[in-house]
Structure 1
Amino acid sequence: MKVITIGGGEISELETLDLDAFICSQTGKSNPKALFIPTASGDADGYCKTFQRIYGDRLGCEVDFLLATGPGFSHQQAVQKILDCDLVYVGGGNTQRMLAIWRDFRIVEALRQAGERGTVLSGLSAGAICWYEAGLSDSDRFTADSNWKLKRLDALGFLPGVFCPHLDKEQRHAPLLELVRTSGERAIACDNGAAIYWQDGVAQVLTSLPNAYAYIYTEQSGEVSVERFSAGQKLPL
């Protein structure tokens, strides 16, 4: 299974373009079928147009969209789209709402099946968290008052560990440190412009911005160690 999980960056400003091109290259096709799943953003029209501009117009993909929040959407339609594409890209937004919708429409198994058949699975922020066992999520910011906090959120479990996006841009180090210290779980974090490329259980760091890194947080005897990794390095997982 090939999975590329991006920590953050503005796709519209080409901050992730090198990562986007790598995702396309991993399909082994010159004009891959790219399925954009923007559930976490509520299927935002502007987000879809940006994806078409980058993956379609610039990177040469045949783009399709899985819009799960509108009328007429069905399980059968979703499964057909997922199993027919060469790459899946999941957009950012409200991770908790996205996963609930996916479970309601029973499409998680289709995503797993696609990955096992060779479809490249990818995404940014919420679209990166979803592939792991869990993530450090800001989903409450979309529904709660100004006192919301980052929280651990169960995800799909295709990849091991807890994933944290936006480490450098959203001051997530302290809450991630506390989560790992209290739970004993291992966490993987990425700055904006950094990504983890998983293939057959091996994880490697990719970057598209200068000074972007990936990190591993590990708890032992109540203390948490943090290791930093640069582009090209493999994570000792």
Structure 2
Amino acid sequence: MRRLLLISNSTLHGSGYLDHCKEQIKSFLSSSVQKVLFAPYALHDRDAYTKLARTAFNEMGYDLDGIHEHKSAVEAVKAAQAIFIGGGNTFRLLKTLYDEKIVELIRERVTNENVPYIGSSAGTNVATHSINTTNDMPIVHPPTFDAIGLVPFNINPHYLDPDPNSKHMGETREARIKQYHEYETSPPVLGLREGCILLVEGDKATLKGKTGARLFVRGKEPVEYQPDDDLSALLSN
């Protein structure tokens, strides 16, 4: 049974790293997990990023290793009790996952071996169908925009609602997602506002966190969802 905790953002305004979702993480990880494997690939300074994540998980009662601290990323994923992929630049992250040849392995371990997966921001992006709806700049070129595919839809983390008082004349987030949906093969996109989390357990998906989400489906008007709402229908797309 796949178990995913897909978090919109690591840091919520007014709080520290992962503070807003620590209780969700502790509830999500089973009692059999003692150590979490962390992929810091989305940021340049992997050591500093791992230190930040290690401090947060130690406070929650878990050990944490950076995947780059192992001789082999493949062997590290094979031995992982749980996987956490953090935020940063989604293009850099996905390219490195492909470079290290662990995309299919992560998919196998999470979907068939019940290894818990936690993603935040870019780490949430790469868990989905593709990274086409990320907010990030393509600072590097992954071999494909196809992501790990743990769910059959896309997520837009840090989703921002249109501000009627803004003088900014560029496209809103909603407009950009609708542009993506001009293509017939584009899947649904779940806009996760900051503070929002999607919990997936097997064939059940539930919205969690402090804020709501906005679901975009091609050819339909966007629909609002609030914490504890059931989004399981998305898993059958």
Q: TM-score range by the shorter chain?
A: 0.7 to 0.9
Q: What 5-or-longer segments of structure 1 have no aligned partner? A: 145-151
Considering only aligned residues, what root-mean-square deviation do their CA atoms show, in Å? Answer: 2.7
1:29-51 deviations in whole A, cap 9, x for unaligned? Answer: 17621111110112433322221
Count matched residues. 217
Task: Report the counterpart of residue 62 of structure 2 in structure 1.
Answer: 61
Aligned to 1:97: 92
Q: For residues 79 and 25 of structure 1, do their structure 2 counterparts lie closer, same or farther at Cα, with a shift above 3 Å needed?
A: farther
Alpha-carbon distance in 1 for matches of 2:187, 2:65:
36
Unaligned runs of 5+ residues in structure 2 are 163-171
**Is 2:107–2:148's contact at 8 Å kept on the other side of the alignment?**
no
Matched residue SS, 2:42: helix
Secondary structure of the equivalent of 1:197? Answer: strand
Give the Å deviation of 1:178: 2.0
- Higher mean C-alpha deviation, range 7-16 or range 108-117: 7-16
Matches within 5 A, 1:35-50: 35-50=37-52
Match of 1:137 in 2: 134
Answering whether residue 86 of structure 2 is matched by residue 83 of structure 1, we say no
Q: Give the Å deviation of 1:79.
A: 2.3
Match of 1:177 in 2: 178
Contact 1:6 1:125 in 2 (8 A): yes
Task: Name the CA distance, whole Å, in 2 between partners of 1:15 and 1:100.
Answer: 25
Q: Distance in 1 between matches of 2:175 and 2:157?
A: 13
Deviation at residue 85 of structure 1 after TM alignment:
2.5
Do the aligned partners of 1:195 and 1:206 also contact (CA within 8 Å) in 2?
Answer: yes
Is 1:213 the counterpart of 2:212? The answer is yes
Residue 149 of structure 1: aligned partner: none
| Conserved 8 A contact 2:214-2:225 | yes
Q: Distance in 2 between matches of 1:177 and 1:169?
A: 14
Which residue number corresponds to residue 33 of structure 1? Answer: 35
Question: Which range is displaced more, 4-13 or 107-116?
Answer: 4-13
Structure 2 residue 7 is matched with structure 1 residue 6: yes
What's the counterpart of residue 147 of structure 1? none
Q: Which runs of 4+ in 1 moved over 4 A?
A: none
1:31 and 1:60 in contact (8 A); partners too: no
Kept in 1: contact 2:77–2:106 (CA 8 A):
yes
TM-score (norm 2): 0.80
- Compute the TM-score of the two structures, normalised by the length of structure 1: 0.80
Distance of 1:109 and 1:182 partners within structure 2: 26
| Matching residue's letter, 2:48 | G
Residue 194 of structure 2 aligns to a residue in which SS?
A: coil
Query: More deviation in 40-49 or 197-206?
Result: 40-49
For 1:6, the aligned partner's letter is I
Q: Partners of 1:142 and 1:122 in 2: how far apart?
A: 24
Give the drift of 1:89.
0.9
Paired with 1:24 and 1:129, the residues of 2 have a C-alpha distance of 22
- Percent identity over the alignment? 21
Call closer, same or farther: CA 1:114–1:31 in 2, change over 3 Å.
closer
Q: Deviations over 1:151-203 (max 9, x none)?
A: x9431212111211110289522211221244453111101110111111221
- Which deviations, in whole Å up to 9, do the C-alpha atoms of 1:43-64 show, x marking residues without a partner? 43332222111111x1010111
